[in-house]
A and B are shown apart, each in its own frame.
Chain A
């Protein structure tokens, strides 16, 4: 084994160099993009020079007041947490049934949960938003949470089904033999075993919800905009050109929020488990 890993790079040397060159270009772009936004957000003025003339943190305070970011960040985190909780509560039981039972119409149910994942969000988003507006829910927080559930619930179901399948059903049977009822099987046996999977799915839903643009954008308005939508509106508003540094400051706040959420989440989940789980589901 050791011999083969030592030998391989020699055989594949040109391709390896090619790959590393490509990866370097990708990394340069990525870091360039990140750094450019961060530097810009601290810049006083930045036109025709390598670095901005003078550094300041005023932009953050300015952006915070101008775009009511306190409220926006609150909405973003609140909506994301609500969506995570609801989609886990709704999705996990459904995933359990799909993993363990065989019943008539199972394929149709699976297809129903698969469709929203495969369809472009705009395709169902526009009819959905129209329905929301006709029910008078347009631009409300309720609508934002509801539209975010459409991709999240199927996502939890599709992630959790293979995860539950790999839990040995004999454990549940043993519990039942010992007299546990369905509720007890769930709370005492399945829940502890499911925790890693649920946390992994929850983190992915969290990240997706915070980053989801299209659906939220269609139904949100002032007071229910999430951070991404607020940034987009800032960039596309009529006077967008004058406030580039403000937008950069907002973008940095967005990335920071995302990172904080991820770091907090990763404290509770073993990242290798998360990756293994992602790989497993995506294999299907």
Chain B
């Protein structure tokens, strides 16, 4: 008797849930959620917990009780300066990649012979990877590499330029790996802009610059912001190239190197997690700032249009 009643109750509960979109199909989501929870959420919260369990040595050196790692992060200039050093690399690199992609994508928008070749040339660095790029840069742009040799030969310079093992080397590597990525994104955004808008502007007598400034740029602005964020994320976590073609203890002592130093060389997992979390925090600040700016820009343009 009660069994029948219960069945009816569950049936109606199931029905009510199904109306809100909760039914057996949601089980398909379970494996994905398990992976995300077990491999991302759990370790991440564990890491946050670790940051407030500093080693005895840290507490003694920096004070601050359970927050000794954070005190150390902000007051140890060797560690804290890495924030500025990372920004000095990642911001200009991301900005350059985005700004250089716009004209290239604008020109490559049209059909022309050799477009496929050019596009594949641009996509090639994605398969090269940072490590091979680093090795190639060391040989190609090193003091005795082909680049310096050619410049010497044509008399542009008198002595070899120092292009690797410093800030410039890392910048080259960031541009080589980041530019194709930015270019792909920007050209996909550009292809989403209705060409008839530009044609209309042209009919009304707008010049090349006016069309770009008044039509393309406002429509592209949100895409530019997104691309900037994604390229920045890539450049921000620069690690192998900072070590291989940079000056790892000097001007390219980036945050990820510091985090890895604490993790792999000092085995101080708590401090390593602290630096890693701070990295996430710094990145988040930039991302939120850019996206905030984007929403301002975006509102402006749609307001003008509608």
Contacts and interface: CB of A to CB of B under 8 A. Distances in A.
A237 interface: no
A112 B36 contact: yes
A50 B273 CA distance: 47
A113 B176 contact: no
Given A23-B104, A130-B43, A235-B135, A258 B32 contact: no
B240 interface: yes
B226 to A, nearest CB: 9
Contacts of A109: 29, 33
Interface stretch (A10-18, A59-67, A194-202): A10-18
Nearest to B263: A126
A210 to B, nearest CB: 8
Contact of B188 (A19, A100, A279): A279
A18 B39 contact: no
Interface in B44-90: 44, 46-48, 50
A120 B136 contact: no
A12 B244 contact: no
A37 B139 contact: yes
A124 B32 contact: no
Given A15-B107, A18-B103, A97 B28 contact: yes
Secondary structure class of chain B's binding surface, majority of residues: helix
Given A121-B237, A125-B276, A232 B131 contact: yes
Secondary structure class of chain A's binding surface, majority of residues: helix
Contacts of A97: 25-26, 28-29
B94 to A, nearest CB: 13
A30 B172 CA distance: 11
B31 A90 contact: yes
B298 interface: no
Contacts of B50: 127, 130
Interface residues of A, number: 90
- Name the residue in A40, A109, A131 with the highest tally of chain B Cβ atoms < 10 Å from its Cβ: A131
A267 interface: no
Given A120-B279, A282-B188, A126 B272 contact: yes
A141 interface: no
A116 B40 CA distance: 7
Nearest to B132: A251
Contacts of A228: 129, 131
Given A15-B103, A131-B46, A259-B127, A247 B20 contact: no
Nearest to A23: B104
Contacts of A23: 104, 118
Contacts of A96: 28
Given A36-B139, A130-B50, A122 B44 contact: no
A224 interface: no
Nearest to B134: A235
A241 to B, nearest CB: 11
Interface string B254-290: 0110011001100001001101110110010001000
A102 interface: yes
Given A5-B111, A236-B243, A124 B125 contact: no
Contacts of B13: none
Across the A-B interface, the 8 shortest Cβ-Cβ residue pairs: A127-B47, A33-B136, A94-B32, A120-B237, A93-B28, A123-B280, A103-B21, A279-B188
26 contacts: A8-B110, A20-B107, A26-B122, A27-B121, A33-B139, A34-B136, A93-B32, A94-B28, A97-B25, A97-B26, A119-B280, A120-B233, A120-B279, A120-B283, A122-B239, A123-B277, A123-B279, A126-B259, A210-B129, A214-B237, A218-B263, A232-B240, A254-B129, A254-B132, A255-B128, A258-B128
